Structure 1
Amino acid sequence: MPTPHISAAKGDIAETVLLPGDPRRAKWAAETFLEEARLVNEVRGMYGYTGLWKGNRVTIHGSGMGMPSLSIYANELITEYGARTLIRIGSAGAMQERIRLRDIVIAMTATTLSTPSRGIFRELNFAPCADYGLLEAAVAAARRREVGVHVGGIYSSDVFYDERPDLNEIMVRHGILGVEMETAELYNLAARHGVRALGIMTVSDHLLTHEALPSDDRERSFGDMVEIALEAAFA
């Protein structure tokens, strides 16, 4: 059962998996929100934990930075461990003036220049989108909280140090809510394998105002996002 990147034994991974990019955030989320959480993977320092949330089995597993890294873990979690619901929990940079730091962005769609799936789609411009049931449940969960929530399209970039201000301007003009680096490929894989997927992000910085959360404040600001993801998964 172990794969090249996940050493978990058969049965160690739950059908519901939350995917933060940072493995340390996976550790924090598991210890904060799960009962009986135990480490099930630490290959290459990419931590995965499985525990219980309100009696439901959940795995919280790091996915690394960028779509190629997420693609590795999501593929193995789905095809080798039977994951059926995958929710990305991460950070995003806001691209609209009305969005504030610490707001929640829930991705209906994910625009991108390129993904690891490009070789499969070739000339086809496939439009990856969220699972509607998860999306609806996440929006309802977010609205029960005193937190700003924005639902719509995001941009999954394949580079972090972007030098295309013209591209960012086009995204802003077309209403893209924020930029991150993983969701589009997660949605591609979910469609390919017939599983559910959703991207929920906390706004950590703003491309227009240049505001940013201090690094030590980001973790404390992500609690709402994790709870929204858990409530959506088991709605």
Structure 2
Amino acid sequence: MSSTVYKETPHIKPNGAEIAETILLPGDPLRAKFIAETYLEDVVQFNEVRGMLGFTGTYKGKRISVMGTGMGAPSMGIYSWELINVFGVKNLIRIGSAGSIQDDLNLYDIVFAMGSSTDSNYGQQFHLPGNYSVTASFELLEKAKKVADAKNQPVRVGNVLSSDVFYNADETAMNKWSEMGVLCAEMESAALYQNAARAGVNALCILTISDHIFKNEQTTQEERQTSFTKMMEIALELA
């Protein structure tokens, strides 16, 4: 008597539930739950391993998934690799929070990460004979900008810092990145972009400014889960 064998990994166990080819990836699994409950229809939960909630549903008739990834390059590296290489995801859109390091980039502003500078060693595994320029998928970036324009939603497009360090012992580090025109700091885009590039799939990081590092301004945890809806609505249109 045969039994059905479903694809699974140590971190994602869908039990046969579908994972769509396009997925939104907030760091916070509760933000994934909020998106599924607020925007998606016919929702099925496909993951709860380690509390990293994942859901698949429809948005305007198109199949789309959403799942938390946790914080930092190692966590994003694991989840994005498995989604791409085990479950066949083709379009991965990180929707996250970031800290502004530019005076004219304020709370709730939206940033599209065209490039991802990094202090992470994540890319060393690829043994490249030089410095790799970590960039978004132009296909997704162009589409997202058109969606934002259609919604009359201002966005900033540029370089972000994907850092392994949240509490930096070097208090001058962010000033140095700011002087190079880097817009803001987050912790996951570089790993996501490199995994996607290696596999030949699309990735884009869309960020909402949750705090300003130099001005000492910040949003609350609850606001980060439920108030970044403009970013979410742009990302959902990419399905």
- TM-score calculated relative to the size of structure 2: 0.93
Could you tell me how far 1:146 is from its partner in structure 2? 5.2
Letter of the 1:134 counterpart:
L
Where do 1:42-57 residues align within 5 Å?
42-57=48-63
Please identify, of 65-74 and 213-222, the stretch whose mean Cα deviation from structure 2 is larger: 213-222
Could you tell me how far 1:123 is from its partner in structure 2? 5.0
| Mapped contact 2:17–2:45 kept (Cα < 8 A) | no
Could you tell me how far 1:37 is from its partner in structure 2? 1.2
- Percent of residue pairs identical: 47
Calculate the aligned-residue CA RMSD, in Å. Answer: 1.4
SS of alignment partner, residue 7 of structure 1: coil
Distance 1:108 1:212 in 2: 24
Residue in structure 2 matched with residue 119 of structure 1 by the alignment:
125
Residue in structure 2 matched with residue 165 of structure 1 by the alignment:
171
SS of alignment partner, residue 192 of structure 1: helix
Q: CA separation of 1:45/1:11 partners in 2, compared to 1, >3 Å: closer, same or farther?
A: closer
Residue in structure 2 matched with residue 190 of structure 1 by the alignment:
196
Aligned: 1:37 with 2:43: yes
| Mapped contact 1:115–1:185 kept (Cα < 8 A) | no
Distance 1:184 1:26 in 2: 21
Could you tell me how far 1:140 is from its partner in structure 2? 2.0
Letter of the 1:46 counterpart:
M
Residue in structure 1 matched with residue 205 of structure 2 by the alignment:
199
| Mapped contact 1:67–1:115 kept (Cα < 8 A) | no
Q: How many residues align?
A: 233
| Mapped contact 2:101–2:212 kept (Cα < 8 A) | yes
Gap runs ≥5 in structure 1: none
TM superposition outliers: structure 1 runs of 4+ over 4 Å? none
Could you tell me how far 1:215 is from its partner in structure 2? 2.2
Gap runs ≥5 in structure 2: 1-6
| Mapped contact 2:30–2:225 kept (Cα < 8 A) | no
Distance 2:180 2:227 in 1: 28
Could you tell me how far 1:36 is from its partner in structure 2? 1.0
Residue in structure 2 matched with residue 141 of structure 1 by the alignment:
147
Aligned: 1:69 with 2:75: yes
Aligned: 1:8 with 2:14: yes
Could you tell me how far 1:114 is from its partner in structure 2? 1.6
Letter of the 1:155 counterpart:
L
Could you tell me how far 1:122 is from its partner in structure 2? 5.4
Distance 1:195 1:66 in 2: 21
